[in-house]
Amino acid sequence: MNARAVLLPLLVSGPLLAERGTVTGTVIAFPSKYLAETVVYLRDAPPPRAPRRHRVRQKGMSFLPHVLAIAVHDAVVFLNDDAVDHNVFSPDGEKYNLGVFSNGEARERIFARPGIYTQQCSMHPEMLSYVFVGTSAHAAVVDGDGRFTIPDVPAGSWKIAIWNPRLGAPDQAVIVSPGGTAAVRFDAN
């Protein structure tokens, strides 16, 4: 094999990987009890990498996690960890119903279009959660204190936004430098 053929991929991929940074920040919300339902994401970010599989458990008559942020074409496996039968359906976007399944059983859904998908159980109407499907993987669900981190962001200027079923805030501009960390704060109401 030619030495140049080996070096070229290394030279091309090395700088590209180094030209990424991190976006961190805080969402301040009033009332703060809605913070855990907030997703922070980059608008118009590069298309997603290879699809991934995520997991949502039905446990204690709840969907866990309550909010999940994924990229388009990712799959979500819904696992029933309760002693009762459950169902998963969404009236949003691609509208689907995964049917009824018992303890230990699972159903999988691939999300082909970006959007917000409310997850419900037809057998237990109090069960509700959200799957945020973004055009890229550059998104994060905030923690209970409103903090978030979005790693591996390509260097450059970006618009960053939040989604929350009850709160809103204006988009922010952020500049990510290679190997650096950009900080942003949202005041949501």
φ/ψ of 90, rounded to 5, equals -135, 130
The reply to whether 20-46+138-189 and 48-137 are identical in fold is yes
> How far is Cα 25 from Cα 142, in angstroms, rounded to an integer?
9
CB 149 within 8 A of CB 176: no
Tokens of 138: 């550059």
pLDDT of residue 87: 96
Task: Locate the domains of the chain by residue range.
Answer: 20-46+138-189, 48-137
Nearest to 108 by CA among 133, 81, 78, 131: 78
**Segment 94-113 mean pLDDT:** 96
| Cβ count near 128 (within 10 Å) | 14
| Cβ count near 87 (within 10 Å) | 19
Architecture of 48-137 per CATH? Sandwich (2.60)
According to DSSP, the β-strands at 62-64 and 156-163 are: unpaired
Q: Is residue 31 reached through a cis peptide bond, with omega within 30 degrees of 0 on the bond before it? A: yes
| Cα dihedral value 60, 63, 64, 66, nearest 10 | -130
Nearest to 85 by CA among 37, 117, 39, 124: 124
Tokens of 44: 């118009």
Give residue-wise pLDDT tens across range 133-173. 999 999 999 999 999 999 999 999 999 999 999 999 999 99
As assigned by CATH, the class of the 20-46+138-189 domain is: mainly beta
Tokens of 69: 């942020």
CB 186 within 8 A of CB 40: yes
> How far is Cα 154 from Cα 135, in angstroms, rounded to an integer?
15
Give residue-wise pLDDT tens across range 3-27. 444 433 433 444 455 699 999 999 9
- In the chain, the percentage of residues whose pLDDT exceeds 70 is 90
Give residue-wise pLDDT tens across range 60-96. 999 999 999 999 999 999 999 999 999 999 999 889 9
> How far is Cα 154 from Cα 17, in angstroms, rounded to an integer?
9
Amino acid, single-letter form, for residue 14? G
